[in-house]
Structure 1
Amino acid sequence: MRVLNYLELEGPLERSGIGAAADHQRRALLGECGRSEGTDIDVVTDPWGDSLRSVAKRLRHERSPTVEYDIAHCNAIGPGSLVVARDAMRTDTPLVLHAHVTREDFRDSFRWSNALSGPLGGYLKRFYSQADLVLCPSEQTRRHLEAYPVSAPIEPITNGVDHRSLEGVVSRRENARDRFDLHGLVAFAVGNVFERKGLGTFCRLAQRTPYSFVWFGPYDRGPQASPTVRRLTANPPPDVRFTGWIEDKRDAFAAGDVFVFPTHAENQGIAVLEAMACGKPVVLRDLPVFREFYTDGVDCLLCSSEDEFCAALEILAANPDRRRELGENARKTAAEHSLERVRTRLLEVYERLIT
């Protein structure tokens, strides 16, 4: 089976959740998730071949701009994905569109994202409805898509967590703490700095508690960045640090003690699963998508207000045993989202659509 697993703008999206999810799919399909046996899957990531000349040649002789494949799986929503989708429909080839983008999680991401979220919803309705099957990271995302409404069938599949990429976190702790000059309890977040991800709450919690707060991840201060992101990353409150991009994410998970994620909207949240896989206690905003995967008080603490976030941090700071208990339970939960599980679900979907 030859699978086209396509992520347009792969370079710019490399540091995003979409890029991580596509990478997880490819690693899973290629057997890079701990399987001892080989794989009969041939994964192609570039639908255009090696050059524009090859695209022109195919158009002259085959009337198709893309390379040959048995099933198309697109992870983005731009013009390249639209061309692949139309070509798959024209050739009656199974088409899977992965809904990593919704108008709900697009809001409060960039300067103009709220104004654009309405038109985006109309586009997404038409774009996703072309598919033979829409995959999405959660039941919550499926409910959003069904409300647009998207007419194609929709099924959830976890984005997964790459456990191998997190190996050795414990051994990196001392060096990571020294590198970032961290002491005491460190509340931390990992990923792109967006207003939607609870940036304002994160900074206010730092002002209300005696702990250090560190956000490991890239941020933008250009014209497309929201005013809140530009203001807070340029002049953060005391005890708040924004590191920017770090080459090895293991240093972030090694240095931090409690993963704090007061996000307002998520399709799943890969960084949460990564923190859990590292055995970190996680404190999350009480959202339906998190209740779908996690259990409050067992593998996480869910908070509805800043007062509850502060209380949760106070409890965890005073009780190392509770931190370890939550972390170990979180590790077990993350094991349920392995790349092996992603592989099994993808193969089942592909084979069902092809036959």
Structure 2
Amino acid sequence: MVCYQGEYRLKTQLRILHLTSYVGKRSFGIGSAVLNLARGQQVLGHRVEIWSCDVKEEARYLEQENNLLPNTIRTFPIFGPSRLAYSPKLERAIAQQADEYDLIHQHGIWTAISRSTNYWRVKTGKPTVIAPHGSLDSWTLRRSMWKKRFAMLCYERENLHKASCLHALSSCEADGFRAFGLKNPIAILPNGISEEWLRQRGDARAFRERFRLSDETRLMFFLGRITPKKGLPLLLRAMSALRYDLKNWKLIIAGVNEFGHQNELESIAFKLSLESHVQFIGPLYGQSKRDAFAAVDLFVLPSYSEGAPVAILEALGAGVPILATCATPWREIVTNGCGWLTDISVAAIRQALHEAIHTPRDVLRDMGRRGKALIAKKYKINSIAEQLILIYSWLLGRKEKPSCVFN
């Protein structure tokens, strides 16, 4: 049960530390979620900091871009592989400043950041909240299994099992926590989107001119990590079966190439004779990302597994209808008439895609408007931030347990 209550402000300012490996370009969707949440909690009057392993210059840019207070993001250098996010300086800072915070909210797991959360919990006896952000679903657990087993042995088992509360983004993710053997209280609360994103307007023409896309070309858009988890080969094979229906359509793929997966996708597109229907444009940030959403007709996410992707919120918040697999936890996409959810198969995606590309533009725009209204009603970050403050306050013994928390 997700809790949505009226506006609430604590009389006592909380000192909240959000701990995550990265919030910048290396973070993908988690970074946007953390930045939005920190801003929402600062608006409520709380002292909020983010500690991460980003570079300092990027942190200052992110503070300005997301309307955060100066020096909200504190950065620490890493030692060793960037994926491990091991920072001796961060661990020393946690030890030296342990008493300055009421609570740690950790975002993402499997990195050395969990060592710091563990240490802080043992030293202070104060609450920790862990948000895996999709990292405990069965598909993800099967990837890099030996690395995850090593992390569990060294620090992650204790970090997870002794957390005061787990933060699930959906009921499906909460079920995954229980399947993993975790008995902690679970708060089910989704990611949110900022008021600024809902108000912003993108420049569709600027996007088309930048990437040499004609006004006549209809655009479907993928934004995220270019990685096997996202299921893009399924989408390409579905497109191949509809090649003649797609003569005016192009798939725009924006994101960072992980594990060399873009090379694999380019090879698949070539073999399926889809080269003219697929364009890779690299990662998009800031206004460039908003311009893309203004230009496209349809957002696609054919994933094998998802937590609660911020990209879906951003697309709906920009008024773009969705075509996604049922790995995306929001059945509201269908019940509110703002897109399509399919089974995870080429045949199911092909069927939904056939319907979507033959839907008139004005009908797609109506679907997009319904999606934006849904986000404005239920997924604004200020409301999500309020609910998390209630959860923190309960963990600190100051309030009753909120309805979105179950044991």
Unmatched runs of 5 consecutive residues or more in structure 1: 32-38
Tell me which residue corresponds to 2:375. 334
In the alignment of these two chains, the number of paired residues is 333
**Structure 2 partner of 1:314:** 354
Q: Which moved more, 1:113-122 or 1:339-348?
A: 113-122
Match of 2:126 among 93, 96, 110: 93
Q: How does 1:190-229 map to 2 (within 5 A)?
A: 190-209=223-242, 210=246, 211-220=249-258, 225=259, 228-229=261-262
Taking a change above 3 Å as real, the CA distance of residues 117 and 257 of structure 1, as seen in their structure-2 partners, is farther
Match for residue 178 of structure 1 among 202, 205, 209: 209
Question: Scaled by the length of structure 2, what TM-score is found?
Answer: 0.73
CA offset at residue 294 of structure 1? Answer: 3.2
Match of 1:137 among 146, 166, 169: 169
1:144 deviates by: 0.4
Task: Tell me, in whole angstroms, the C-alpha distance in 1 between the residues paired with 2:152 and 2:75.
Answer: 34
Determine what percentage of the aligned residue pairs are the same residue: 22
Which of these residues, 92, 100, 103, is aligned with residue 71 of structure 1?
Answer: 103
- The whole-number CA distance in structure 2 between the counterparts of 1:354 and 1:114 is 35
Mapping of 1:1-355 within 5 angstroms?
A: 1-11=14-24, 13-14=26-27, 16-31=28-43, 39-46=44-51, 64=96, 66=98, 68-77=100-109, 78-100=111-133, 101-104=135-138, 106=140, 113=144, 116=147, 124-165=156-197, 167-170=199-202, 172-182=203-213, 183-209=216-242, 210=246, 211-220=249-258, 225=259, 228-233=261-266, 236=269, 237-238=274-275, 239-247=277-285, 248-287=288-327, 289-291=329-331, 293-296=332-335, 298-304=337-343, 305-318=345-358, 319-335=360-376, 336-355=378-397
Q: Deviations over 1:149-196 (max 9, x none)?
A: 1121111111112341364435x0122122222242111111111111
Superposition deviation, residue 315 in structure 1: 3.1
| Runs of 5+ unmatched residues, structure 2 | 1-13, 54-73, 77-87, 398-407
Residue aligned with 1:290, SS? coil
1:298 CA displacement: 1.5
Q: Does the CA contact (< 8 Å) of 1:195 and 1:229 recur in 2?
A: no
SS at structure 2 position matched to 1:72: strand
Query: Is 1:140–1:288's contact at 8 Å kept on the other side of the alignment?
Result: no
Determine the C-alpha separation between the residues in 2 that align with 1:313 and 1:274: 20
Give the counterpart letter for 2:192 in structure 1.
G
Bigger mean CA offset, 117-126 vs 179-188: 117-126
TM-score by length of 1: 0.82
Matched letter for residue 253 of structure 2: W
Question: Is the contact between residue 169 and residue 188 of structure 2 (CA under 8 Å) also seen in structure 1?
Answer: yes
